[in-house]
């Protein structure tokens, strides 16, 4: 009987120490800071939305909108005022899709980024520094 108690106590201690010493998995996102819907953009889209999400090392704006030819999703990654990466994927009604990586040095891309970023509240954007 003492052997069973000793073994049970030992297993209990091992399981408790394994649970308390497990590594902490870092959060990759702090969460959605703000979402805006039905913003005026070019080209015209319907039922569009833009979501500002905070990650550990950057923020990402994900824009989703329905075009006449299908659905488009854009992602704009940035820190502070600096655009890190940007691109889009368009899904046509016939099932085909096209992915595009934006040229970050292009003046029109920079202008579109600033225009999209300006749809968010300054307090939400301040968390992206």
What single string gives the DSSP state of each residue in 17-59? HHHHTPPPPPPSEEEEEEEEES---SS--EEEEEEEEEESS-E
Whether the predicted pLDDT of 23 surpasses 90? no
Q: What is the pLDDT of residue 69?
A: 81
Q: What is the pLDDT of residue 30?
A: 73
Q: What is the pLDDT of residue 107?
A: 97
pTM: 0.75
How far is the C-alpha of 106 from the C-alpha of 84, rounded, in Å? Answer: 13
Whether the predicted pLDDT of 12 surpasses 60? no
């Amino acid at each position: 009987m003492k052997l069973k108690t000793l073994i049970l106590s030992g297993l209990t201690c091992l399981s408790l120490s394994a649970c308390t010493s497990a590594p902490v998995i870092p959060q990759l996102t702090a969460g959605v800071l703000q979402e805006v819907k039905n913003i005026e953009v070019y080209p015209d889209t319907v039922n569009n939305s833009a979501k500002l999400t905070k990650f550990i090392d950057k923020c990402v704006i994900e824009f989703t909108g329905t075009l006449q030819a299908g659905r488009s999703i854009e992602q704009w990654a940035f820190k502070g005022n600096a655009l890190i990466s940007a691109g889009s994927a368009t899904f046509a009604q016939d099932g085909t899709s096209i992915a595009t990586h934006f040229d970050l040095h292009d003046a029109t891309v920079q202008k579109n980024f600033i225009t999209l970023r300006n749809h968010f509240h300054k307090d939400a954007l301040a968390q992206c520094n």
